[in-house]
Structure 1
Amino acid sequence: MAKPNRADLLSRAYHDPKNYPYGFSRSGDFSISEAKALSQYGSLINALLSGSLQPENDDDASFIAVASGQKEPANVTEKAWVKYMARIGRPRTGSIYGKRTNVDDADDDDSSIDDDDDLPLADDD
């Protein structure tokens, strides 16, 4: 496989079908500008962080520094990437009721108790 270059990565839109199957803009997690920045620069940032592309300029080095936590995000793209990483790394919430289903006890289904005996009867005299 050929080594990717910067121009190819910038022309390729970034998608994350596992975490955002309908895209970044339809998720509700990102603003319009953040979704555009992730789509445009996500492939480049991902290649820089994985090591398949070496940083060529100060912007590339800044992406790496922000992603590693050495620097605060300064522009929309860096802020969007930090937000994206926080969203995909968050723990999944479980049900407050747990996974176990409720099982009725045998004592609750005792048919020998007749509730009709407790009702008052009306006199028709």
Structure 2
Amino acid sequence: MAKQTKEQLLKRQFLDPKNYPYGFSRSGDFSISESQALSRYGCLIAALVDGFLEPENDEDEGFLASARGEREPLTVAERAWCKYQKRINRPRMGSIYGSKSRGMSESDDMGEESDVEIELDD
């Protein structure tokens, strides 16, 4: 993979279709300014945190320090990134009903090899 520059990362819009399939602004988790900052700076902050890009200036150092939890987020982009990380890494609630396969064997699933025969009267 070719190494990307800071300018290229700032031109890319940050998206997370797995956790936010309709976008950050439509999720209700972020304000308008936070969703805009996350879309604009998300690729850059992700590259800094993952080590794909070295910090070039104080702004990049600030992004990295707040993302690591070394200092409080000061800018809208830093606050949005920290909020985003808290949202996607929160513990998932378990179901009170358990999983589908918990009480059923594979043959009970009505799959390909089921012994259940259904007769239809004409």
Structure 1 and Structure 2 fold alike (TM over 0.5): yes
- 1:18-40 CA-partner distances (Å, limit 9, x unpaired): 11111101111001000000000
- Gaps of at least 5 residues in structure 1 are 101-125
**What is the aligned residue count?**
102
- 1:54-112 CA-partner distances (Å, limit 9, x unpaired): 00000100111101111001111110000000000001112345458xxxxxxxxxxxx
Mapped partners of 1:58, 1:81: distance in 2: 17
TM-align CA RMSD: 1.8
TM-score (structure 2 length as normaliser): 0.78
TM-score (structure 1 length as normaliser): 0.76
Instruction: Give the % identical residues.
Output: 63
2:80 is matched with 80
Mapped partners of 2:86, 2:40: distance in 1: 19
Q: How far apart are residue 2 of structure 1 and its match?
A: 1.7
Q: Which has the larger radius of gyration?
A: 1
Taking the TM superposition and a 5 Å limit, the aligned residue runs for 1:51-90 are 51-90=51-90
Residue 41 (structure 1) aligned with residue 41 (structure 2): yes
2:15 is matched with 15
1:114 is matched with none
